[in-house]
């Protein structure tokens, strides 16, 4: 069975920061939804994920412990260190979900602040697709395995997102959303833009 690696990114909605903000719950994609995607940035098509597309890899434990990163690696530049890892992935019938933990490193702390400030609003998946079929106007993905999840500034899918960012201490120990600091946000955006060049 031949496999193809694909990258898909999506905006993160309904972001809540609780406690130390290191545990994230992400809706990676919704089953049965038509997404307008491109593999090269020029040619677009519709992509639909069939319910249960990740069941086999979940059953065999292949989607446990995938790395979380801050953007994907860029060819020609040194590989990025992960900022954390997933703890579990599951299908809830309508969506493919993931819970992960952001590590207490300098990059992890930066990422938590960018999430709190609403600067990082997207997540991107790298998936290895094993089975697809052509459908009217596009492709249906029926079997895949998750390889990596990256927080990104360039979202693509419209309905996936981070549902919650919370601490290990529990939901009762919440902190108010951080108020964005305009100068700090501008400086971070400048760094992100220069990294994309």
Strands 138-152 and 44-49: parallel
* Distance separating alpha carbons of residues 151 and 11, to the nearest angstrom: 10
- CB under 8 Å to 40, separation ≥6 — which residues? none
Residue 186 has pLDDT above 60, yes or no: no
pLDDT of residue 48: 94
Q: Can you give the pTM of this predicted structure?
A: 0.71
Q: Is 172 exposed, middle or buried (0-12, 13-18, 19+ CB in 10 A)?
A: exposed
* Distance separating alpha carbons of residues 30 and 64, to the nearest angstrom: 19
pLDDT of residue 129: 94
Q: Convert the pLDDT of each residue in 36-82 to its tens digit.
A: 888 877 888 999 999 999 998 887 766 558 999 887 666 666 567 88
User: CB of 146 within 8 A of CB of 125?
Assistant: yes
* Distance separating alpha carbons of residues 105 and 108, to the nearest angstrom: 5
**Hunting for tokens 């500034």 — which residue is that?**
153
* Distance separating alpha carbons of residues 66 and 111, to the nearest angstrom: 18
Q: Convert the pLDDT of each residue in 92-132 to its tens digit.
A: 888 888 888 899 999 998 888 888 787 887 888 889 999 99
Q: Please give the DSSP secondary-structure letter assigned to residue 81.
A: P
């Amino acid at each position: 069975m031949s496999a193809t690696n694909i990258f898909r990114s999506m905006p993160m909605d309904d972001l809540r920061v609780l406690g130390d903000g290191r545990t994230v719950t992400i809706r990676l994609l919704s089953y049965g939804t038509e997404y307008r995607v491109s593999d090269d940035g020029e040619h677009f098509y519709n992509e639909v994920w069939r319910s249960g597309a990740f069941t086999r890899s979940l059953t065999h434990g292949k989607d446990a412990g995938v790395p979380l990163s801050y953007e994907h690696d860029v060819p020609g530049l040194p590989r990025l260190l992960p900022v954390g890892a997933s703890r579990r992935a599951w299908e809830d019938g309508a969506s493919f979900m993931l819970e992960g933990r952001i590590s207490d490193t300098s990059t992890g702390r930066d990422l938590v602040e960018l999430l709190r400030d609403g600067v990082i609003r997207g997540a991107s998946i790298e998936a290895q697709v094993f089975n697809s079929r052509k459908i009217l106007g596009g492709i249906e993905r029926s079997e895949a395995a998750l390889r990596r999840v990256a927080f990104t500034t360039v979202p693509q899918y419209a309905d996936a997102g981070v549902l919650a960012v919370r601490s290990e201490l529990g939901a009762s120990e919440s902190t108010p959303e951080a108020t964005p600091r305009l100068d700090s946000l501008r400086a971070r955006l400048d760094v992100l833009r220069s990294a994309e060049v």
